[in-house]
Amino acid sequence: MTALHFLRRGTVLLAGLALLSFARAGLANPGDTEMLASLRLGAQLFQQRCAICHGSDGLGEGVLSMSIANYPNTNLLLPRVSTDSTSIRRAIVEGPLFADISPFMPPWSDAMSESEIDAVTLFVVYLRQDLSAAIVYAREAARLMPPSARIGRALFLGRCATCHGADGAGGGRLAVRLQPRPSNLAISQAEDAYLRSIISLGGAVLLRSPAMPPWRGEFSETEIESIILHIHALRQQRHEEVSNEARR
């Protein structure tokens, strides 16, 4: 892509930002439905393509960045290379071919259309302009994402295994310091509704261990459902292990 192409793109995006400046509560120019549609599309694509590293709210707590040691900083509010609309767009298009961006950042030019790239760029710019308003769009898009056991596993290893252990049996590295000890989720018979409540609200609200924190402010509803899917997988794994031992 030529420098003129990026200049034109940057001009369009800056014009869009002029419209965004009319709002501080999650709305662009109230009469600009096309801008709102692009912003919502950008939030949706961000959840699908970018949140795995940057986190659903762009603050760097994605499932990969949480589960891989020494993963590069992915907090979009602390930019190292992409500091304006033009460089943000180039980073999305070119990935590590642009400046010295981490090789973990893939180039999206072949996976997204021009308009989709524009939409994601717009969302990232808006995220930096008005975080609280942009998060409204991000959470709306996150609710539309289907739960995933793969995402649940990464979230569990990044947030829950410290106490519950990687296998869910309650033997995480902090378990010895806690009283009562963390629950053995691999043999727990707790129903999904209960798991949903204790993950969201924390242990103290349900008269369980106060060491169990409330995760509602950090995990989206889809992420909580994804963790529950992973707990089911841990239970199934434990059931198979017991069955195999019984047959020996």
What does the pLDDT read at residue 247? 82
- Does residue 65 register a pLDDT over 90? no
Question: Whole-prediction pTM value?
Answer: 0.64
What does the pLDDT read at residue 104? 87
Query: Boundaries of CATH 1.10.760.10 in the chain?
Result: 3-143, 149-247
pLDDT tens profile 33-63: 888 889 999 999 999 899 988 988 899 988 7
**Alpha-carbon distance 75 to 53, whole Å?**
9
Class level of CATH domain 3-143: mainly alpha
Look at residues 163, 166, 155, 160 and name the one whose alpha carbon lies nearest to residue 65: 155
Return the minimum-mean-pLDDT range out of 12-16, 108-112, 132-136, 181-185: 12-16
**Alpha-carbon distance 7 to 22, whole Å?**
24
Please name the amino acid found at residue 145. M
Tokens, residue 216: 């509602």
CATH number of the domain at 149-247, out of 1.10.760.10, 1.10.10.10, 3.40.50.300, 1.10.3720.10?
1.10.760.10
Residues in CB range of 28: below 8 A, 6 or more apart: 16, 19, 20, 22, 35, 36, 39
pLDDT tens profile 4-15: 344 344 444 544
